[in-house]
Amino acid sequence: MTNEEVAILNEKLRQEYGEFSPGLQRFRLVWSTEQFEHRYSEYNIFSEHGDIFLRTERGVFYVPKYPQWNDMWILEKAQDTRGNPYLQDVCKVSYEPVWCFGAGNSEREPNWRAIQLLVRNSLFGDPNSVNKSPKDLEDEENARWNAEKVKMKEMLAEDTSGLVLPLKIGSAVSVSGFRDRKE
């Protein structure tokens, strides 16, 4: 995708969805490796050549924004930093990712139709989704957990290998995927 094509998409985003504040559009398309941000965290500080550990510092640092997504297009949305005690005095607006083109099975090249869909879902939510309360989400998680326990019991009942027998008779415990959970 050329710089001109990106400029056209960003201009369409500005025209259709407006500005967050003067000069800052509400949504923008950016290249991942060119983005930096102010981030509050703990960082190890090394010597100029990077070979000697000097100290650990906690604070707001200007760091690469998307080290996990190299060389990808990112659709971002402007967010106010008021209320964030670490950033509100450093920057007034932070752009947060809406979508990473090329992550997972998505297309690497952004197109206007996909961008419109993502922006509308970001602004108004998915029209096909149902708003769920925290209780609804908790009930769904409990149902998944109970279904997993039933499935595991069925698998243990069917398996007669030497590996499963100690689990069946209670002389062994499986901790793979252990979850600290109240029953």
> DSSP letter string over 98-143?
EEEETSTTS-SS--HHHHHHHHHHHHH--TTS----HHHHHHHHHH
Specify the residue for token string 């398996």: 159
pLDDT number for residue 142: 82
In this prediction the pTM is 0.63
Residue type, 19: E
What tens-digit pLDDT sequence spans the chain (183 residues)? 888 999 999 999 999 999 998 889 999 999 999 999 888 889 888 998 888 999 999 988 888 999 888 889 999 999 988 888 888 888 888 899 999 998 877 778 899 999 999 998 888 876 666 666 667 767 888 888 888 888 877 877 776 666 666 666 666 666 555 455 444
